[in-house]
Structure 1
Amino acid sequence: MKYMLLIYMDENALSETEREHCYAKSAQLAQELNAKGQYLSTAPLHPVATATSIQVRDGKSLITDGPFAETREQLGGFFLIDAQDLDEAIAIAAQIPGARVGTVEIRPVLEVAGLPKQQ
């Protein structure tokens, strides 16, 4: 089953050196998952100040700068993995460096017919 591991943290929780170390550790984890056939995708996101949100209501688009909600922790990146079950997804999420300073939300991915296949 596919799981999305959403990494939330305070953008200012890490120094630039700590952030680079986090990226290196995340890349290492991605390589390990890839070797086991569990890696699908991962990426950090640019800071929340670069976010744009859109809402469509009654056919009209409302576009605003910034994230959808003001929170203490922001979505900072993700891993998309293939795990046998939730327990295995939890074990993988616990290895994500961001889990040490933030929160990793684990969500099963809903398979929808008619979508393009991943390459």
Structure 2
Amino acid sequence: MMMRPNPANTQLYLLLLRSTESRWHELPDEDGDAETSAHADLITALQQDGRLVYCSPLAHPAEGALVHFRDGQVQVQPESIDADPIAGFYIVRCASRDEAVALAAQIPDAAYAPVLVRALMDVPAVDGTMTETPQGA
């Protein structure tokens, strides 16, 4: 896979989206379509200005797993469906935390659930870290 370096003076941020299952069941189709369209518009804008690294919705929590390694044994449990399960994420390239926060506020989900903003740590000695961006992402 072709990789291009992260431009100087920028940091990668994870914008973690939360949602509730009940919200999606109660959301009228036209509102869901409008929200999907708003995400698509934001994704297009972030791609055009080079700030989007990657984004994706996540499958239903029932399809996930919690994996622990304790006492020499692998333990797998179903993912709990808490009040606000993780629904998706954006990885974006920003010049500052304030810029990442401003982008998070533009995500449609921020109108009804908090969006977590976290900087990704730079680990230059480890190949495959997100300090480099997949071409076309």
TM > 0.5: yes
Equivalenced residue count is: 117
Would the aligned equivalents of 1:13 and 1:101 in 2 still touch at CA under 8 Å? no
1:82 aligned residue: 93
1:46 aligned residue: 59
Alignment partner of 2:22 out of 12, 16, 26 = 12
State, as a whole percentage, how many aligned pairs show the same letter.
26
Taking the aligned partners of 1:16 and 1:65, their CA distance within structure 2 comes to 29
Taking the aligned partners of 2:17 and 2:97, their CA distance within structure 1 comes to 17
Matched, 1:100 2:99: no
RMSD of aligned alpha carbons: 1.6
Give unpaired runs (5+ residues) of structure 2.
1-10
Taking the aligned partners of 1:10 and 1:22, their CA distance within structure 2 comes to 15
Taking the aligned partners of 1:8 and 1:37, their CA distance within structure 2 comes to 24
- Cα distance per residue 1:43-74 (max 9 Å; x no partner): 1111112111111112210001123xx53111
Taking the aligned partners of 1:115 and 1:21, their CA distance within structure 2 comes to 39
Q: How much does 1:111 deviate?
A: 1.4
Q: How much does 1:10 deviate?
A: 1.2
1:91 aligned residue: 102
2:84 aligned residue: 73
Q: Which runs of 4+ in 1 moved over 4 A?
A: none
Taking the aligned partners of 1:20 and 1:72, their CA distance within structure 2 comes to 23
Q: How much does 1:16 deviate?
A: 6.1
Taking the aligned partners of 1:106 and 1:71, their CA distance within structure 2 comes to 20
Q: Name the larger-Rg structure.
A: 2
* Matched position secondary structure for 2:21: coil
Matched, 1:118 2:133: yes
Taking the aligned partners of 2:47 and 2:77, their CA distance within structure 1 comes to 37
TM-score w.r.t. length of structure 1: 0.89
Give unpaired runs (5+ residues) of structure 1.
none
1:37 aligned residue: 50
TM-score w.r.t. length of structure 2: 0.78
1:60 aligned residue: 73
Would the aligned equivalents of 1:53 and 1:63 in 2 still touch at CA under 8 Å? yes
* Matched position secondary structure for 1:30: helix
